[in-house]
Amino acid sequence: MKVLGIMSGTSMDGVDLALCDIQNTSKGYTASILKGITVPYNESWRVRLSQLRYQNAEVYTKTDVFYGRFLGELSAGFFEHMGEKADLIASHGHTIFHNPKQSLTAQIGDGATLNAYAKVPVVSNFRRADVGLGGQGAPLVGIGDELLFGEYNFCLNLGGFCNISSTHKGKRIAFDIAPCNIVLNRLARERNLQFDENGALAEKGTCILPMLEALNSIDFYQQRHPKSLGREWINKNFWHIVREYDSSPLEDRMKTLVQHIAFQVGKTMKGLTENPLNTCSVLITGGGAFNHCLRAYLSTETGCNCVVPDDNLVNYKEALVFALLGAMRIQNVTNTLSAATGASADCIAGSLDGDFSLLTSS
């Protein structure tokens, strides 16, 4: 089937829409990106999303509906502009709260409203079923990485947070490693930039060793997987360390964050394999894959064969995986792995909105 995968990450650079061809064959699932676009957030949406966790219940509920309408209108416009149709929409939504220790994860983008405006059946709300079973609810890409990119030893996504998936002791695991673009972009805004293009600012900097040591000593990095991160965690545990060095040049702080991310990735990979890392391959996607400085440090810290695919897969891999998860949901196939999230059981995750009669009958 043709599935429109929709992804909005914590870095809040925009909404990714990827029309994907999902096939379930005798040899397993295949998936390809047919067309994709990223719609940048305007300042109004960026502020609204970043501040929503501080608002009251009425504002939260209204924004959930308005954001669903926004995604529905984007989807309808995408179909019209591309001259394409989809059988299904699989929408991740935008995460506002994520604290699985308190059984809480919340992604706005009301599926019923999205369906009403896009006129296409919708699968959304992928994370809550896993959290209800005691899991982290994130990251969910592990099963997609196993089915679609199993030839790589590791799949590394450099998005708002960097997360990794790998087959470890016979099971596919996936977890968050560290903040990534969400903190790099915060620093870039000091220069009125949305992001550090190609890592140019970081490249000019010099590492601040006390800052690097303080970041590397954060308790989260000593915890075993499964584990996941949210915006709340950054504000409570991470950002105050960065702010202690506000008087240092921006380039130096940026370089320090890049080295911190690369160090944590390298340490994580070493803990997931008994093989020498220089015999391993890692697929790198997400916006951080375009950061040349970060990529250089990742290559140094890991020694792996770091594979950066074509721009389509770099930009839309997570949207592609959620398109796959949506298709699996319609077919009542397990799409969330407890080995990755720590839940008490695997599950079939995703809420349904719209008329699925044609899909289920076929």
Write out pLDDT tens, residues 272-315.
998 899 999 999 999 999 999 999 999 999 999 999 999 999 99
- Tell me, yes or no, whether 323 lies in a domain: no
Q: Do 308 and 288 contact (CB within 8 A), yes or no?
A: no
- Tell me, yes or no, whether 67 lies in a domain: yes
- Tell me, yes or no, whether 322 lies in a domain: no
- Tell me, yes or no, whether 196 lies in a domain: yes
The reported pLDDT for the residue numbered 249 is 98
Strand 104-108 relative to strand 122-124: parallel, antiparallel, unpaired? unpaired
Tell me the two tokens of residue 274. Answer: 């008994």
- Tell me, yes or no, whether 30 lies in a domain: yes
Same domain, 181 and 210: yes
- Tell me, yes or no, whether 52 lies in a domain: yes
Same domain, 81 and 202: no
Q: CA dist 167 to 12, 127, 250, Å?
A: 30, 21, 38
Same domain, 104 and 224: no
Same domain, 122 and 247: no
CA atoms within 13 A on the CB side of 142: 27
Show the DSSP H helices in 83-177 as ranges.
111-118, 128-132, 142-148
The reported pLDDT for the residue numbered 9 is 85
Same domain, 38 and 58: yes
- Tell me, yes or no, whether 281 lies in a domain: yes
Domain region containing 169 = 142-313
- CATH code (residue 59): 3.30.420.40
Strand 281-285 relative to strand 171-179: parallel, antiparallel, unpaired? unpaired
Same domain, 158 and 69: no
Strand 122-124 relative to strand 171-179: parallel, antiparallel, unpaired? unpaired
Same domain, 171 and 122: no
Same domain, 15 and 43: yes
Task: Please name the residue that has the structure tokens 């719209």.
Answer: 354
Q: What is the pLDDT along the chain (362 residues), one digit of tens a residue?
A: 999 999 998 888 899 999 999 999 888 999 999 999 999 999 999 999 999 999 999 999 999 999 999 999 999 999 999 999 999 999 999 999 999 999 999 999 999 999 999 999 999 999 999 999 999 999 999 999 999 999 999 999 999 999 999 999 999 999 999 999 999 999 999 999 999 999 999 999 999 999 999 999 999 999 999 999 998 999 999 999 999 999 999 999 999 999 999 999 999 999 999 889 999 999 999 999 999 999 999 999 999 999 999 999 999 999 999 999 999 999 999 999 999 999 999 999 999 999 998 786 55
Same domain, 18 and 120: yes
Same domain, 46 and 124: yes
Same domain, 235 and 352: no
The reported pLDDT for the residue numbered 60 is 98
Same domain, 151 and 246: yes
- Tell me, yes or no, whether 338 lies in a domain: no
Tell me how many domains the chain contains: 2
The reported pLDDT for the residue numbered 12 is 86
Question: To which H or E segment does residue 24 belong?
Answer: strand 14-25
The reported pLDDT for the residue numbered 362 is 52
